[in-house]
């Protein structure tokens, strides 16, 4: 994703999240019998802003961890390929020695 696209996506995500939080808070306010004044006005906006900020930080952290995990998997894959290549070379050498042994045995057998 290019940077301009990411900015649009971030805004869309943020606005969608903000809307969902606003709806949730509004429903909580309607069902609460007391103390709902704490969720109104500037305090409410600050709360929503903090939730959006933390969700973005969590998303960024998850993306970072995902990249690290992907890199670790890549390294392990390369190591495994190297190990398989080494084992294949050993098997090829063993097969070659078995073939040579069989050839020498078949040449030394008397005919007929």
Give the pLDDT confidence of 9-62 residue by residue, as tens digits: 666 777 787 788 877 777 776 666 445 555 566 677 788 888 888 888 999 999
Average pLDDT for the chain? 80
The CB density around residue 39, as the number of other CB atoms within 10 Å, is 15
**DSSP per-residue codes, the chain:** --HHHHHHHHHHHHHHHHHHHHHHHHHHHHH-SS-GGGGSTHHHHHHHHHHHHHHHHHHHHHHHHHHHHHHHHHHHHHHHHHHHHHHHHHHHHHHHHHHHHHHHHHHHSPP-
Q: In the prediction, which pLDDT does 32 show?
A: 63
Q: In the prediction, which pLDDT does 109 show?
A: 72
Q: How confident is the model at residue 85 (pLDDT cuts 50, 70, 90)?
A: very high
Greatest C-alpha distance within the chain? 108
pLDDT > 80? residue 71: yes
Q: In the prediction, which pLDDT does 41 show?
A: 65
Specify the higher pLDDT residue, 51 or 111.
51
Q: In the prediction, which pLDDT does 1 show?
A: 45
Enter the tokens of residue 12.
Answer: 């869309």
């Amino acid at each position: 994703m290019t940077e301009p696209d990411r900015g649009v996506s971030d805004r869309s995500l943020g606005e969608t999240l903000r809307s969902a939080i606003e709806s949730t808070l509004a429903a909580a306010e309607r069902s609460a019998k007391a103390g709902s004044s704490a969720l109104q006005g500037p305090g409410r906006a600050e709360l929503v802003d903090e939730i959006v900020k933390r969700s973005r930080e969590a998303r960024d952290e998850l993306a970072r961890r995902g990249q690290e995990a992907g890199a670790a998997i890549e390294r392990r894959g390369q190591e495994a390929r190297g190990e398989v290549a080494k084992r294949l070379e050993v098997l090829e050498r063993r097969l070659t020695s078995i073939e040579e042994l069989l050839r020498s045995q078949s040449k030394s057998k008397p005919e007929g």
